[in-house]
Amino acid sequence: MNSINATIITIGDELLIGQVIDTNSAYIAQALSKIGIPVTGRIAVGDNKESIIDALDTASKKSSIIIITGGLGPTADDITKPLLNAYFGGKMIIHEPSLSHITHIFETIHKKPMIERNRKQAEVPDVCEVLFNEKGTAPGMLFKKEGVYYFSLPGVPHEMKWLTDYQVIPILQKDFNPDNIAHKTLLTAGLGESFLAELIAPFENALPSSIKLAYLPNFGMVRLRLTGTGKDKNALENLLQTEFEKLKLAVKDYLVTDADETMEIVVGNLLKQRNQTVATAESCTGGYIGHLLSKNAGSSQFYTGGIISYDNRIKTEFLDVPTHILQTVGAVSKEAVEQMALAVRAKMNTDYAISVSGIMGPSGQTDEKPLGMVWVGVANREKVVSKVFYLRFDRLRNIEVTANQAINLLRLLIINKI
């Protein structure tokens, strides 16, 4: 048998042309990682028989586990099931539990008669183990050949997730007994990836061989993840915690949180713990900061709302930015964002406020104000603080980075670091 590792094969022309983003592979890889099974390859192929067979042949030479998603639907381009039937030398039969389930879906949910095309979804090769799909009409399948496990799952994400969690993972844990795996993640801000690596090089060089360190930079922040593997779960968790405490100490000046949390969750928790509130005044981010602050349950406890002041008229009429500031130093300025923060905090009667104004691109720059120049302001009841950033990405990423930097600046104000 090949070493215990997995290859993920995603099937569908829509994936290759970029019409659909492959989120299935990421979900499956994360699920496998949690039980100690590494993913050593990911292959995307179109709805083409030869390409799929080549992918299966290639994967089976290096992996003991192959997980396939896609191509199990009722239409002509869904060729995975008949192909696997031929590949493993089977014949198609009706799986009665699946047929009963599909019939129930059409009679009680869709209120429509089931046509032959849908009935055929209950057909499976007689050489597979059927993975009952509680969430949809296409059953999953497990084939075994020469010690290699081949799982075939629907491409519909919520069906794939259910089958992965409740069918695939339990089978793999029982049959492969992989090493235990554990992760510890923290979030840093204020130091770039290369400088951070230099800072913690002594720690990284002294890590036990069973523990690995990963750098995960994103939006001006860097997550650090420790991953440990071992047969003894308690010993592994104790060792991982010991090393994690050393890591926290090494990055203490840049540590945001010692949990695997986003910046907006960290700040939201800070505000909830203090029973405090925040409002936003956004120009260049168009409401994205408000979206981040309000997207998680419980955000109404600390986020009151915001003003999207994209046009200068809104800045003057609703945020009291004097016309002379806009005419002299402009909307993208320290003076403008500080007034925006002060005004929105006062008008919404909150403890804190965030304001932003910048040039996201791809146009709008001047000699004095280049693309990616962004002013961020934060205020509380005693003071207002502002900071300028010079970003170098495309428009969407500039917006995302700005939002995260703005929320981090608020965090620093809340904890009295600025």
CATH code of the domain made up of 180-257:
3.30.70.2860
- Torsion sign (Cα): 48, 50, 53, 58: negative
DSSP state letters, 37-59: --EEEEEEE-S-HHHHHHHHHHH
Do residues 68 and 9 touch, judged by C-beta distance below 8 A? yes
Position 249 scores a pLDDT of 98
> How confident is the model over 145-201, as pLDDT tens digits?
999 999 999 999 999 999 999 999 999 999 998 888 889 999 999 999 999 999 999
Please give the sequence-ordered ranges of beta strands (E in DSSP) within 76-122, or none if there are none.
Answer: 92-94
Average pLDDT over residues 14-22: 90
Q: Given a cut of 60, is residue 365 above it in pLDDT?
A: yes
Tokens of 62: 């290096």
Answer yes or no: CATH 3.10.129.10 is held by domain 6-176: no
Look up tokens 């962004």; give the residue. 374
Contacts of 93 (CB under 8 A, 6+ apart): 123, 124, 125, 126
Do residues 93 and 129 touch, judged by C-beta distance below 8 A? no
Distances (CA, A) of 29 to 86, 351, 357, 388: 28, 42, 39, 39
> How confident is the model over 90-147, as pLDDT tens digits?
999 999 999 888 888 887 877 777 777 778 888 999 999 999 999 988 899 999 999 9
Start-to-end Cα distance in the chain: 58
Average pLDDT over residues 243-252: 98
Domain with CATH 3.40.980.10 in the chain: 6-176
Q: What is the 3-state secondary structure of 248-280?
A: HHHCHHHEEECCCCCHHHHHHHHHHHHCCCEEE
> How confident is the model over 276-310, as pLDDT tens digits?
999 999 999 999 999 999 999 999 999 999 999 99
Tokens of 263: 């910046």
- Torsion sign (Cα): 149, 153, 157, 162: negative
Q: Given a cut of 60, is residue 2 above it in pLDDT?
A: no
Position 178 scores a pLDDT of 87
Domain with CATH 3.30.70.2860 in the chain: 180-257
pLDDT band at 1 (very low <50, low <70, confident <90, very high): very low
Q: Given a cut of 90, is residue 78 above it in pLDDT?
A: no
Mean pLDDT (the chain, rounded) = 94
Q: Give the homologous superfamily in CATH for domain 263-414.
A: CinA-like (3.90.950.20)
Residue 173 is inside which H or E element, if any? Answer: helix 169-176
Domain with CATH 3.90.950.20 in the chain: 263-414
Tokens of 164: 């992965």
Dist. CA 401–CA 384, nearest whole Å: 21
Position 125 scores a pLDDT of 95
> How confident is the model over 38-58, as pLDDT tens digits?
999 999 999 999 999 999 999
Dist. CA 400–CA 393, nearest whole Å: 10
